[in-house]
Amino acid sequence: MEVLLFGLIAEKAGARRLELEAPTLSELRARLAERIPELSALSYAIAVDRVIVKEDRALNGSEEIAVLPPFAGG
């Protein structure tokens, strides 16, 4: 599935999108940590279909996933 990266996270990853496969959100978090070693030291949230999700959940691969560093609007 395609994972969208923003701001500081995109900078650390050197990319604004990653292609990752994971059956659950917790496994996706593990894949992300492998691809972006700095991630463990950063504050971020994951949005599934444009809603921030904190608990683990199953993913079917069709979701829009985004990794969001702290917001800074305004």
For other proteins, what does the binding mask look like between residues 13 and 52, x meaning CB under 8 A? ------------------------------x---x--xx-
Among positions 1, 7, 15, 29, the unique one binding other proteins when judged by CB under 8 A: 7
**Maximum C-alpha span of the chain:** 36
Beta strand 51-52 with 17-19 is unpaired
Is residue 54 a contact residue for other proteins (CB under 8 A)? Answer: no
DSSP summary character for residue 49: T
Q: 71 in helix, strand or coil? A: coil
CA distances from 24 to 8, 17, 46 (A): 24, 19, 12
Among positions 20, 46, 53, 68, the unique one binding other proteins when judged by CB under 8 A: 68
Binding residues for other proteins, rule: CB under 8 A, are 4, 6-8, 11, 43, 47, 50-51, 64, 66, 68-74
